Amino acid sequence: MNRGHRQLCASARWGDYLRDEVVPWMLGGHTLGGSVLEIGPGPGRSTDVLRAHVKRLTVVEAERRAAAALQRRFADTNVTVVHGDGTDLPFRRGRFSAVVAMTMLHHVPTPQAQDALLAEARRVLRSGGRLYGVDSLDSPGFRGFHAGDTCVPVDPDGLPARLVAAGFRRPDVERDEDMLRFTAEVPSRGSR
């Protein structure tokens, strides 16, 4: 992340926005369940919001220094921090009730790597589990804000097919003025 991006994502204002607007929209009235994985928490403002909704939250952060800072920040809480790669998650199949990816997919360097991350999210979800996410829509301002960052915007029109290809069913993608919200589920045992 560039400096401005890091500052925004670590700010109390961003945390308030996530808590008051983004997370309720993302969840759409659903609950996360008891064992949740957040991929790519960055400075952890999203983690602050999510941990209030769950019994146990595991976060996986790719940047070593960010993961170390999160470990210190969330010591002795219901959050476990793991330094790792979202495209190669260090968890057994079916471990989590929900996986959350908030405003991070566009930081994954290629559409193929984004698809690998979605497939890994599917792998670690249990039967009937759900993927929840939000990301920003592409625009000149969005790209300008990411100057010097990895920025691979997600096409909302193509995302449902990508979720199905990753093994999910019932993908739902919705957009508002600046963001897209997506959710999909893992088929329950015995369902089609």
Q: Are residues 55 and 78 in contact, defined by beta-carbon separation less than 8 angstroms?
A: yes
Quick: pLDDT tens for 114-142. 999 999 999 999 999 999 999 999 999 88
Q: How far apart are CA 58 and CA 36, in angstroms?
A: 6
Mean pLDDT confidence for 56-63: 97
Residue 190 lies in a domain: no
- Looking at the domain assignment, is residue 191 inside a domain? no
Q: How far apart (Å, rounded) are the C-alpha atoms in residues 98 and 95?
A: 9
Domain of residue 43, residue span:
3-185
Q: What CA–CA distance (Å, rounded) separates 168 from 71?
A: 31
* CATH code where residue 81 lies: 3.40.50.150
Rounded to two decimals, the pTM is: 0.94
